Amino acid sequence: MNKVLCVIPARYASSRLPGKPLALISGKPLVMWAYERALASGAFDKVCVATDDQRILDTVQNCGGEVVMTSSKHSRGTDRVFEVTEKVKCTHVVNLQGDEPVLPVDVVKDFTRALTQINGNSLLTIVSHATISDIDRPDVVKVVLNRMDEALYFSRSPIPFEREGKGVFYKHKGIYGFSVDALRRFCSFAEGDLEKRESLEQLRALENGMSIKCLIRNFDSIGIDTPEDLEAFRAMVAMGKYGVGI
């Protein structure tokens, strides 16, 4: 029987928004918005936060959440997730970003169902249609797909080149799913050249012959990367626009 674990990596350090996981929105830490959204989906056998910071561990525990203390030596969230799978038994794992607090629960359910169908040399993620304003923004990661909805390449640059102005562009959403075997394989690879150049961890999989299956789902979400993003989300919550059940 498949057992799906959801891990939310959370680190205190952030160049643009230090202490981001503990930022309060209507009295609730940001990391707990993601945690409660994962629980509300009902898609997982277990949900936990993974951190190397005592402040985050104490906060999650005080809020009634499950949390695992991990090594401070991890440079990427995926390595932190892998450490958790060595401590918590599961067959599949979802790396859910703690700064994506309002992923729709139906999307999370779709994702988990699809995850259990992929093989040990693949991982799963989500893409959506990019807007015109997204295309030239380096903070919005673009992706090119093949006819099986597998990723050919991810980039911060506009891809593919648009000759006639009629094509579709896709952007990446920050959620990943692996079988435990696939995650172990991914984490065994050294950081790749393309990964370093683009600062995109998923390129490590493509550079080493793994496939990345992409679910195409269009939905409204918000990523918290800057103080401006945080204030915008606080304003949305204050207006009653977002809640756990969305």
pLDDT greater at residue 246 or residue 49: 49
pLDDT tens track for 18-59: 899 999 999 999 999 999 999 999 999 999 999 999 999 999
Residues with Cβ within 8 Å of residue 209, at least 6 apart in sequence: 121
CA-CA distance, 174 to 170, in Å (whole number)? Answer: 13
**CATH number of the domain at 4-238, out of 3.50.50.60, 3.90.550.10, 3.60.20.10, 2.120.10.10?**
3.90.550.10
* Confidence class for position 1, pLDDT limits 50, 70, 90: low
pLDDT tens track for 183-227: 999 999 999 999 999 999 999 999 999 999 999 999 877 788 888
CA distances (Å), 186 to each of 64, 76, 151, 176, 191, in order?
32, 12, 16, 12, 10
